[in-house]
């Protein structure tokens, strides 16, 4: 057990050391075995994605960025929608990594996939629009290790507080009503069903319980984690339904069973399209969020189609389409111009398109590790501990 843990620390340490070196390089030197051009398409592409990221006209015939892709490249897209990062990691490992070619991984999945060798280094020179990606997303620690890029950025966004405007007033400015037992909406709250949600509890405590000294919500010591778990257990009886699949949130919101809770911009967009009375806000305590990367499996059966997809989804036109449908913010700064043209100031007010400062304020999902990355050394709790404690929280309901 001791040697096992030592190996774990070593592995994590190495990864972090590599990651620390990764943020500085601006001119990535692709490895020698990377492709220098995109070969002929294989005719098919299997993707794992967040719901709403790969639209082929099934939701709304006018919302389709897959059919033009297939027409242009001949790659027929088959997509599996996953609800949590954990599910994505598991899917990418199925069949020895050959079953799915690519994944739209968030920061709490990327490093796990890279460390396990599930995803391949990509040659970003083959993605012409990569140079227009906003600065902080060009070589972020969550997908670039030692100058090697393991994917191309797609969209990013915060986990917002969504609420029913007819029931919840005044308009909330704090996460308070989803955590405190004094909430007038208890019994009609919702929360995200994944261990990563512990970070949201930590975020609330960071603002309201300064004694705990929480700084990075993904680097929690045992004490800090314990406090977060207590808060979550306090919240559990207030929750009507935890959601992982987006319909598990949009259904109860539509029917009035749930009136307030954490949501992705996608659910907000969807409910607004359905003419439901909802609104969203990033409260004063801040928000957790995600920056997603398209990554390619290291055993991909259709690598050329995957490169074509990465190229396609980095173009400003497609990025703008996705942004308008999903509600997330494009990584390609040129897409912001198109967005501003199409939706006016909402592009800056709601999407904060191209706003680096806003992005830096979101506590982006990342995999909790034992290595705190600061003076506390290796006293932080890692993701397996989070998974076990989350099970505890869910089991109490």
Where along the sequence are the contacts to another protein (CB under 8 A)? 7-8, 11-12, 46, 51, 58-60, 78, 80-81, 83-84, 86-87, 89-90, 93-96, 99, 112, 115-116, 187, 239-242, 245-248, 250-252, 254-257, 270, 274, 382, 384, 387-388, 391-392, 394-397
- Closest approach of another protein to the CB of residue 397, in Å: 6
In whole angstroms, the minimum distance from the beta carbon of 155 to another protein comes to: 19
295 and 103 Cβ atoms separated by less than 8 Å: yes
- State which residue, 5 or 376, has the beta carbon closest to another protein: 5
CA–CA dist 257, 108 (Å, integer): 30
User: Would you tell me how many other CB atoms lie within 10 Å of the CB of residue 366?
Assistant: 24
Q: Among candidates 364, 311, 362, 359, which has minimal Cα distance to 134? A: 359
The least CB distance from residue 13 to another protein, in Å, is 11
Q: Shortest gap between Cβ of 11 and another protein (angstroms)?
A: 5
Is 130 or 390 the residue whose CB approaches another protein more closely? 390
Return d(Cα 161, Cα 250) in angstroms, integer.
14
Task: Output 183 or 254, the one with its CB closest to another protein.
Answer: 254
Please report how close the Cβ of residue 10 comes to another protein at its closest, in angstroms. 10
Contact 197, 302 (CB under 8 A): no
Q: Return the number of the residue (342 or 391) whose C-beta is nearest another protein.
A: 391
CA 243 to each of CA 27, 159, 239, 261, 368: distance values in angstroms, whole numbers, following the listed order? 41, 13, 10, 10, 22
The secondary structure of residue 378, as a DSSP letter, is T
Q: Which has the closest alpha carbon to 176: 166, 167, 186, 187? A: 186
How many angstroms separate the CA atoms of 75 and 150, rounded? Answer: 22
Tokens of 228: 């977060």
Q: How far is the CB of 189 from another protein (least distance, A)?
A: 12
Minimum gap (Å) between residue 183 Cβ and another protein: 17
Strands (E), 255-307: 260-263, 278-281, 288-296
DSSP code for 43: S
**Residue 95 or 213 having the CB closest to another protein:** 95
Residue with Cβ nearer another protein (123 or 267): 267
Q: Say how far apart CA 1 and CA 283 lie, in whole Å.
A: 43
User: Between 250 and 297, whose beta carbon lies closer to another protein?
Assistant: 250
Question: Closer CB to another protein, residue 258 or residue 282?
Answer: 258
Question: How near is the Cβ of 78 to another protein at its closest, in Å?
Answer: 7
């Amino acid at each position: 057990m001791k040697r096992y843990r030592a190996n774990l620390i070593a592995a994590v340490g190495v990864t972090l050391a590599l990651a620390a070196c990764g943020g500085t390089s601006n001119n990535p030197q692709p490895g020698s075995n990377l492709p220098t051009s995109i070969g002929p398409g294989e005719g098919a592409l299997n993707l794992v994605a967040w719901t709403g990221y790969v639209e082929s006209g099934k939701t709304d015939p006018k919302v389709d960025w897959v059919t033009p892709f297939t027409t242009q490249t001949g790659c027929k897209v088959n997509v599996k929608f996953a609800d949590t990062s954990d599910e994505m990691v598991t899917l990418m490992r199925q069949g020895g990594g050959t079953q799915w070619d690519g994944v739209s991984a968030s920061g709490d999945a990327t490093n796990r996939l890279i460390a396990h060798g599930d995803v391949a280094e990509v040659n970003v020179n083959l993605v012409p629009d990569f140079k227009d990606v906003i600065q902080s997303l060009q070589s972020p620690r969550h997908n670039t290790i030692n100058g090697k890029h393991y994917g191309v950025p797609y969209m990013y966004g915060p986990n917002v507080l969504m609420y029913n405007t007819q029931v919840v007033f005044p308009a909330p400015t704090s996460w308070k009503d989803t955590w405190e037992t004094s909430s007038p909406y208890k019994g009609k709250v919702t929360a995200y069903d994944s261990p990563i949600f512990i970070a949201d509890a930590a975020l609330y405590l960071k603002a309201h319980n300064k004694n705990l000294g929480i700084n990075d919500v993904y680097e929690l010591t045992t004490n800090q984690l314990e406090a977060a778990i207590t808060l979550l257990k306090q919240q559990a009886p207030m929750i009507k339904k935890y959601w992982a699949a987006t319909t598990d949130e949009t259904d109860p919101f539509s029917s009035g069973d749930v009136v307030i809770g954490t949501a992705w911009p996608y659910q907000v967009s969807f409910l607004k399209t359905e003419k439901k009375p909802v609104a969203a806000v990033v409260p004063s305590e801040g928000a957790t969020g995600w920056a997603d990367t398209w990554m390619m499996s290291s055993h991909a059966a259709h690598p050329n189609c995957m490169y074509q997809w990465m190229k396609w989804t980095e173009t400003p036109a497609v990025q703008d389409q996705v942004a308008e449908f999903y509600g997330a913010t494009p990584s390609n700064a040129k897409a912001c111009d198109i967005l501003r043209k199409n939706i006016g100031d909402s592009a800056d007010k709601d999407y904060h398109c191209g706003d680096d400062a806003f992005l830096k304020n979101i506590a982006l999902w990342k995999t909790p590790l034992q290595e705190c990355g600061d003076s506390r050394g290796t006293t932080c709790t890692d993701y397996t501990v989070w998974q076990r404690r989350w099970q505890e929280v869910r089991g109490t309901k």
